[in-house]
Structures are given as structure tokens and as C-alpha cells.
Structure 1
Amino acid sequence: METLRDILDAAARGVLPPADGATTVVAQPSHRDAGVFAFTAHTVIATDEDPDWVYETLRAADCDALAAPLNPWFLAALMERTGRAAETVDAMLVADPLPGAPEVALREIEDADHPRIGYARGRRDDVRAWTAEGGVVVTGRGIGGRLEVSVEVDEGVRHHGLGRSLVAAARHLADEPLWAQVSPGNARSLRAFLAAGYRPVGSELLLSARPRSAGCSRSRS
């Protein structure tokens, strides 16, 4: 049976789910990892809930079938059913690893007090972090064990290309496809990832196991 990781690995190779207007329900890779992953005219929902309930609830949504999996009405029903909280809807991007050393000088750190690192450790495994002058780049294993990256640039050194340099550097640190999730409204970050060669393959909304009253999280990249 196809898993979420199978689907993501195929997408990283450029093989996307069929654009047939369908929704595929797959098992959660872990208790932590649940969500809705939208590709072109095909959506994948990772949940341990009954697939029949998912399909019936999608059909009951008063909207276009292609839009139903990310429709607020359906998401509210899914959160009520699972007791989970919704993250933000992010653009889903991926890039291949690059050979050689990064062009920007990096120093690996283990500073758990840095907010970006603490944030990553709450959502990813095997987290590693590097600093450059004015910024930090963090990698870790997130959804289905895929390798993910996030960066943060100090306010005083923004608008000089450091963000793009850091996300490009992350590709040199990886030995497998590297994933990023970026809020579409975060145009600055989105431009940095695109300029560094990351390819958009879809969008995703994670359903966190924390109580729904915990509120929204910030954008992850």
C-alpha cells in the first residue's frame, strides 16, 4: 500500500499524483504527522481516521470537489473528529542536494535557546543547526521522515540576499531531497527559496496533536 512518504519521494523526483480530481487517504506516518497535502488536481489526506468518513464528509462540503479538502468547513469537521489543531496552509517546495561546500561560512551549533531551533525541535527529529553572520539555518526530519529546512535572518541584515544564501547553503548540507514549507503570504521567504532552486510541488496543512486552544503557529520558513 502506498504511503505518504512514497508519494512525497515521488514528488521530489518530479512524479506527482495523477491530476484526476481525486482525493487519496493514507495512514499517518506517526502520531505526530497528520495533514492535508494538495497537488495539482489531486489531494492526499494523511489521517488514521476511517477513510469512509473522510470521503463522506468531503462529499457533504458545499464547494467544488477540488477545493473541498482545504475548505474551512471540511477542515473544521476533521479537527473536531481528530481533536487536532490546524497549522497554516503552506507552499510545499523541494530541492535536490548540491555537491561541495556552501558558499556562505557556517558554524554548527547546539543552542536550544534559539527560538528557531526550539521551534524545529517541537516538530522535527534529528534537528541540526548552523549559524552564519546574521542568520541561522536548521534542518530536521519532519513529515514522514523527509528532510526539511527552515531559516531565520536577523532584522538588521535583511534585504541583502542572506536568506537566499542560507537556503542555498542548506542544499550543500543535504545528501537527499530537501523540503521547505513557506506561507504563500511570506513573499520575501518564498522568493528566496525559489531563487535558490527550490521547486513548488503543492501545498500542505498540518494537523498538530496539540490542543486546538493552543492557537496558530508561525510560518515555518
Structure 2
Amino acid sequence: MLVDLADVLRDAAAGRFPAVDGGWERARTWHPHVEAVVAFTGHAYLAVRDDLVTQLPVDRLDGFGGAHDPRVVAALARGGWIDSLDALLVHPGQARARGGLVERPDLGHHPRAQLARRMRRDVRVLGRADPRSTDLVTMSTGIAGLTELGVETGGGTRSGRSLIEAALASVNGPVVAAVAPGNARALRAFLATGFVPVGSVQLFGRDEGSGAPADG
């Protein structure tokens, strides 16, 4: 039976994690052109559309980091696009007063907004009410079918923090974010707003024309 990663992430947001047994399981996909490897401490999930995993180098596939072995991911992608390996963060989510963000269709051409449309569904592009500001948030149906945030700001950690806080103000339920480990400024901003690291995620796709650049 395929695992629902949304349930796994909801549990992780509440502090309940998969067993540390070195195992892996198949999970349901959530997007027609996106598949993924999601790893927690000592356990991994492969969200793939078929049973290709039976053809993988199983001696390298385990829940102790092996699921992210580049040879495993390359075999799964079969020549398609492979996104960067990201830290997977979760926030429990609790709507509060209005956060001050507004719809900003004028920022829809931004690379981060375009990336979100290729890899996620129901994408909204939000920003500050000041039309001169280019800070933006993408809010969409992303990893595991949960609400996913992407943030782009020209300021420092404090500016990013205020943008994330404003976005969280209108969200009920768990929120996920995928952040490149080397993007320390973004990691600090997400951690400062209550996101917690729960695992790692690497997205990939096998469909022609659905290639996506790395998100950082």
C-alpha cells in the first residue's frame, strides 16, 4: 500500500517521526510531472508513479542516506530533470490576523514564480502592498499536496522573516518549505518563524518539457 506523505509530514510537524529502521517505502505522488525522494532520520519514501524501484541498485537504496545516492536518483529520473537536494522544513500553521500581503500578478514573471508554476499547483503570487517592492511569496499546493511557501527578498534575514510571517498569517494547517542547505540566509529566516527541519527532499521528473531549474 502506498503511503500518504501528507500524513507523514503532519505527524512530523507534531513531533512524531517514522521509525529509525533504515527502511524505505513507496509513497503517492502529488503532481503529474513531479516525483520525489523524501528522507527522514533513518527512513525514506520514494514518491514514484510506477514500480521502477524494483530495477534500482538496491544495495545502495536504504533509509540511512542511500535513498539520496546520486546513482539511485539518476536511475529514477531516467534522463529527466533532477532538482537540487533540499532541506525539508515544516510549520504547524495557524491562521492569525491579516498578514498584510496582497496579490501581486505584476510579479508573476519572476523566476521564482515561474519555477513554482512548473513544480506545484494552484500557485498564488503575493507581495507587499507597496507596488515598488519586489519582495514576493509563492503560496501553492506543493510537496505531498500540502501548502508550500517560496520566498524571494532583496533584504536580509529580518526582511525575509517578516515576509514569511506575513504569509503564515493566512494559512491554516501544516506548511512546508524546501530550502537549499547552502542558502543559510533563507534557512535562518524560516527557522526564526517557527519552521522546523524534519528531513530532506529531492524532486525529479521524467516528462519531456517539464524540466525545472534548481530552487535555492
State the TM bucket, normalised to the shorter chain.
0.7 to 0.9
Q: Kindly state the Cα deviation for residue 190 of structure 1 after the two structures are TM-superposed.
A: 0.5
Q: Do structure 1's residue 36 and structure 2's residue 37 form an aligned pair? A: yes
**Corresponding residue for 1:202?**
199
TM-score (norm 1): 0.84
Structure 1 residues 88, 160: CA separation in 2 closer, same or farther (over 3 Å shift)?
closer
C-alpha RMSD of matched pairs (Å): 2.5
Structure 1 residues 98, 4: CA separation in 2 closer, same or farther (over 3 Å shift)?
closer
Q: Kindly state the Cα deviation for residue 31 of structure 1 after the two structures are TM-superposed.
A: 2.4
Q: Kindly state the Cα deviation for residue 124 of structure 1 after the two structures are TM-superposed.
A: 1.5
Read off the aligned partner of 1:204 and give its amino acid letter.
Answer: V
Q: Do structure 1's residue 165 and structure 2's residue 162 form an aligned pair? A: yes
**Corresponding residue for 1:90?**
86
TM-score (norm 2): 0.85
Question: What's the % identity of the aligned pairs?
Answer: 35
Q: Do structure 1's residue 79 and structure 2's residue 103 form an aligned pair? A: no
**Corresponding residue for 2:102?**
107
The Cα offsets for residues 148-175 of structure 1, whole Å up to 9 and x where unpaired, read as 0011112xxx226110111121211211
Number of equivalences: 210
Read off the aligned partner of 1:198 and give its amino acid letter.
Answer: F
**Distance (Å, rounded) in 2 between the aligned partners of 1:172 and 1:90:** 24
The Cα offsets for residues 121-158 of structure 1, whole Å up to 9 and x where unpaired, read as 2221111122124511110001332100011112xxx2
The Cα offsets for residues 3-29 of structure 1, whole Å up to 9 and x where unpaired, read as 233322322332211111111122423
Read off the aligned partner of 2:4 and give its amino acid letter.
Answer: T
**Distance (Å, rounded) in 2 between the aligned partners of 1:119 and 1:90:** 15
Structure 1 residues 29, 135: CA separation in 2 closer, same or farther (over 3 Å shift)?
closer
**What SS class does the counterpart of residue 122 from structure 1 fall into?**
helix
**Corresponding residue for 1:177?**
174
